[in-house]
Amino acid sequence: MKHILSDFDLSGKEVLEILDLSSRIKENPLKYGDSLKGKTLIMLFELASLRTRVSFESGMNQLGGHAIFYSIEGGKFTRDETMEDGIRNLNRYVDFIMARVLKQEAIERMGRVATIPVINGMTEKYHPCQNLADLLTIKEHKGKLKGLNITYVGDGACNTATSTIIGCTNVGVNVTVACPDNPKYSTNPALLKKIKGKVTVVHDPVEGVKNADVIYTDVAVSAGMEAEKEERIKAFKPFQVNAELVKKAKKDCIVMHCLPAHIGYEITREVMDSEQSVVFDQAGNRMHTQKGLLLWLANK
């Protein structure tokens, strides 16, 4: 039994195993149609999400299992039941827990009492399921992972950037983070000390993308940051992924965004709809890699 509470819970070898299984399921979905027959996934949502809910629920159904949505808005179960007691009940009802919560502390608490796999569907610190989809998308479009260069442009301290750094270096992808010269928006030095692969932090977006095979960006204002909206929009304006910036990267560079996109802020419509954009392939691969992850965990 294994939890995926952060990207650190998967080794590079395990990530490649999941990606390989995900590719096989994607290529031949009917072969795996009964793989999780009789299994149930509960999806705990403190924060609503189009992609996370629909991709997990559809994926579980396609594997022959069943998915249940349950809201824990405010971080609480029924009638103020504690997180721990709620999970102790779920241990007896279902086979997997996926939780999308605002704080990493909450999912860590779940992991301490769960006797079934807990999957991080997103917290403020990590987004491991997104990274699995990202890696499969890169591999499909580039034919490999090891030795490629990915540049994350924007908030170097956000959950997507952190998961990109951990997950990509785990499988031999070189990571550059192009972010404002401000500790609030820059990658945590403590994180960089834990990383074995190559990570470069720069504060000039043009410098950051010059050797990029992949350009990746995300929203400047995430959930819970609404009070900082104007400050963040101003700080990240020079880091917009637009046609001029993309031209500074390799000619065959692909552009990624984990969605939802705020068009005209972190990315332009021109780039979002361009031939170099693989944004909706990423979104589609959320379902395929989560199917691979669920089956991989079941086989554990």
Do you find a cis peptide bond into 260, omega within 30 degrees of 0? yes
Question: What local confidence, expressed as pLDDT, does residue 132 receive?
Answer: 98
127 contacts 10 by C-beta, under 8 angstroms: no
Tell me phi and psi for residue 137, to 5 degrees. Answer: -65, -45
User: Nearest 10 degrees: CA dihedral of 138, 126, 128, 221?
Assistant: -50
The pLDDT value recorded for residue 77 is 85
DSSP H helical ranges for the chain: 12-27, 50-62, 83-90, 104-113, 128-142, 159-170, 189-194, 205-209, 229-236, 243-247, 269-272, 279-299
In sequence order, the β-bridge partners of residue 252 are none
pLDDT at residue number 80: 81
The predicted pLDDT at position 118 comes to 98
Instruction: List pLDDT tens digits, range 58-106.
Output: 999 999 999 999 999 887 888 888 999 999 999 999 999 999 999 999 9
Paired tokens of 13 = 């070898």
What pLDDT sits at residue 48? 86
CB 239 within 8 A of CB 179: yes
Q: What is the pLDDT of residue 75?
A: 78
Domains and CATH numbers, the chain: 7-127+285-299 (3.40.50.1370), 130-282 (3.40.50.1370)
Ranges of the chain with pLDDT below 50? none
> Amino acid letter at 141?
H
How much of the chain, in percent, has pLDDT values that exceed 90? 92
Q: Which region, left, alpha or beta, applies to residue 172 given φ > 0 means left and ψ of -120 to 50 means alpha?
A: left
**In this structure, which amino acid lies at residue 124?**
E
pLDDT the model gives residue 227: 85
**Structure tokens given for 73:** 């808005």
The amino acid present at 209, given as its one-letter code, is V
Rounded distance between C-alpha atoms, residue 58 and residue 11, angstroms: 27
The reported pTM is 0.97
Q: For the beta carbon of residue 44, count every other beta carbon within 10 angstroms.
A: 24
What is the structure's pLDDT at 27?
Answer: 98
